[in-house]
Amino acid sequence: MKQSQYVHGYSDREAERLSDQAMTLADLLHDDTCFPPGSRVLEAGCGTGCQTCIVTSHSPGAEIVSVDISRTSLEMAQARLEDMGNPCHQFIGGDLFHLPFRESTFDHVFVCFVLEHLPDPVTALRALRGLLKPGGSITVIEGDHGSCYFHPETRKALAAWHCLIDIQAITGGNSLIGRQLYPLLETAGYENIHVSPRMVYSDHSKPEFEEGFVRKTIIPMVEGVRDQAIMAGMVTPGDFDEGIADLHVTASPEGSFCYTFFKGTAIIS
């Protein structure tokens, strides 16, 4: 994937969104994330390091190497880990399809919100598989935009949401990938696969999800494709903006919002 095709881009706003997303979903996605002391872990597609901080704090003593194709994101990730008191964390720039490691280097591979952006996720999973030691494991976390429903479900809110799905598909990604984790891992040659759906449900009794998930994670993600969707003729500016206004209502006393992430783990023999 060329960096320029990456649907969410590398703006400051996107960096902030990734941070809000990681903090809001930390308990839901990482209650069982823990890599043992002394193990060698590869984080593929670390972005600005939001998940890196969580994985690192859950895995004291693990030796974690984080890679990303974006130098700018890696610099932000490095600064984040330094702020956290982890100046020795190793960051490497590179394409996860062609990483500069020998076969059988790692005990674990961690991938979060990356496969959904790749035109060929099976090839990516196979490339990462080659870097695992026999008996090594992989953890993959992805969303699935088809799992989303909300109230009130207006026509314009749905249209704006579908612009995100369609633009991501045009840029070579697949935002409906969460439900495919099991078959993707199996096709890529992994064994002992377990996939667990992790549902986020937000209503007015859960202000942390209204704010951290709907307003700060979901809506900015949809807003991020506004110009591309209008340019592609998918929607008029007025309808898109009304759709965004309607999505804000889902995070108000009258609204609710539901979305499911998928976490897969597997091993190689």
Ligand X SMILES: C[S@@+](CC[C@H](N)C(=O)[O-])C[C@H]1O[C@@H](n2cnc3c(N)ncnc32)[C@H](O)[C@@H]1O
Binding site for ligand X (CB under 6 A): 1, 6, 8, 18, 22, 45-47, 50-51, 68-70, 73, 95-97, 112-114, 117-118
Nearer to ligand X, 136 or 173 (CB): 173
**Contact residues for 86 (Cβ-Cβ < 8 A; gap 6+):** 56
- CB burial class (10 A; 0-12, 13-18, 19+) of residue 127? middle
Beta bridge partners of 47: none
Find the residue with minimal CB distance to ligand X: 47
Nearer to ligand X, 45 or 243 (CB): 45
CB 9 within 8 A of CB 171: no
Instruction: Read off the DSSP letter of residue 211.
Output: I
Nearer to ligand X, 96 or 188 (CB): 96
Q: What are phi and psi of 228, to 5 degrees?
A: -65, -40
CB 127 to ligand X: min, Å: 9
CB 269 to ligand X: min, Å: 26
CB 128 to ligand X: min, Å: 10
Nearer to ligand X, 4 or 269 (CB): 4
Task: Locate 145 and state its tokens.
Answer: 């935009």
CB 259 to ligand X: min, Å: 15
Which among 138, 129, 267 is positioned nearest to 188, based on CA atoms? 129
